Amino acid sequence: MVESIYCYISRDSAMKKVLFLVNPVSGGVGGRKIKERILSELQGMLPRNQYSVEDTKVDCAQQARDACPEYETVVAVGGDGTLHQVVQGIADVEQRPKVGIIPIGTGNDLAASLGIVDFFKSYGLHALLELILKGKTIPLDVITLNSTYVFTNYFGMGNDAKISNDFNKLRLTRFFPKESSMSINKIFYSILGLSGGFYRIPFDIELRYRKEQCLTETMKVPRGVNEVLITNLKSYAGGACVSSKSSMDDGKFEVTIIANNWQWLILHLTRFLKRPLDNCYPKLMQFQTDVLEIIFNGDSFYQIDGEVLGGFSEGGKHLIFQTASLLAMVVP
């Protein structure tokens, strides 16, 4: 793992400095304006042949992967979904570029955890671009799911994923405003959260996870819980805090069972209480691990880094999570 953090040092000096991948629909109207603002601000900061500014394609992950041999840094200009696609594309590349963020999405949990959201709000786009070009980084755990998907923020099974699913469906209807802003998106999310919060997982779940000294523990979770959360950050769902033990580079992730509506409400109130959920609710079912198996038989809703996840729709399920590698994230 140590080698993966420092592989950036030996990269070809003839490479271009930075690629900005701009999601034009992220953050509503803001996503369509940010591209021209980036091009304008970069004038005089960096030679034009040292950077590119592109709209994201349908297969943004492959777009990011293709950029790895050519750029020192890839910047996700969007929200957690855009960043997730970039990470999905580059996480298993041998010589990974640094990863930067310009946060214009609805949630921006990773950017908030890294201090980028506050920096952007306080100092603006020009200062954030200078920060990206400076290239100071810290390591970030990457977690794999069934050796197929990768994520850095969180995985959810249950009502949070149902809310994401309902929001994505709503965005495709004629009732959703085409020129929606980030604030409008958050309002719709909150409204859907009032109904989605009553969803229950309709089957029993078995969790098997590695403890210290490679011992294995098994936990039985009965049907009827609100959700199972796997988190790697202090910030969840736009600012809630799940665990006081969270660390982005410790090689572990937190597993939390939200058993009822009371716990679900407290979870989302933590953004105002400024206290993590495990401190507010000491009897919470929560543990840390680097390897987890989730075994169940049934169908529910799933999301990964805020994006709806399909592919687990029928029959028995066996999900395996483990920390796999590290990314170098640009930070203030």
DSSP state of 7: G
Query: Tokens representing 103?
Result: 């946060």
Last residue of a domain, one of 116, 142, 168: 142
Let me know whether 171 and 81 are in one domain.
no
Let me know whether 130 and 192 are in one domain.
no
Let me know whether 117 and 165 are in one domain.
no
Let me know whether 62 and 188 are in one domain.
no
CA-based R_g, the chain, Å: 20
Q: What is the CATH number of the domain that holds 107?
A: 3.40.50.10330
Last residue of a domain, one of 142, 169, 196: 142
Count of beta carbons in the 10 Å neighbourhood of residue 28: 20
Tell me whether residue 332 is in a domain: no
* pLDDT given at position 182: 54
Let me know whether 169 and 312 are in one domain.
yes
Q: Is the Cβ–Cβ distance between 246 and 234 less than 8 Å?
A: yes
DSSP string, 110-133: HHHHTTHHHHHHHHHHHHHHHHHH
CB neighbour class for 215 (10 Å; exposed up to 12, middle 13-18, buried from 19): exposed
Let me know whether 38 and 127 are in one domain.
yes
Q: What's the rounded Cα separation, in Å, for the pair 240 and 276?
A: 8
* pLDDT given at position 26: 76
Per-residue b/e over 166-183, b at no fewer than 16 CB within 10 Å?
Answer: bbeeeeeeeeeeeebebe
pLDDT in tens, the chain (332 residues): 334 444 444 455 578 999 999 998 776 656 678 999 999 999 999 999 999 999 998 889 999 999 999 999 999 999 888 999 999 999 989 889 999 999 998 778 999 999 999 999 999 999 999 999 999 999 999 999 998 889 999 999 998 888 777 766 666 666 655 555 555 555 555 555 555 567 899 999 999 999 877 789 999 999 999 999 999 998 888 889 999 999 999 999 999 999 998 998 899 899 899 899 999 998 899 999 999 999 998 888 898 987 777 655 444 588 999 999 999 999 99
Let me know whether 291 and 177 are in one domain.
yes
* pLDDT given at position 165: 76
Q: Is the Cβ–Cβ distance between 229 and 242 less than 8 Å?
A: yes
Range of the domain at 198: 150-325
Tell me whether residue 47 is in a domain: yes
Last residue of a domain, one of 142, 175, 201: 142
CB neighbour class for 243 (10 Å; exposed up to 12, middle 13-18, buried from 19): buried
Q: What is the CATH number of the domain that holds 208?
A: 2.60.200.40
pLDDT in tens, 176-205: 555 555 555 555 555 555 555 678 999 999
Let me know whether 229 and 320 are in one domain.
yes
Spell out the long-range contacts of 120-126 with Cβ–Cβ below 8 A and sequence spacing 24 or more. Answer: 125/34, 125/37, 125/38, 125/41, 126/41
Strands 205-210 and 227-231: unpaired
Strands 71-78 and 98-103: parallel
Let me know whether 168 and 300 are in one domain.
yes
Domains held by the chain: number: 2
Let me know whether 15 and 64 are in one domain.
yes
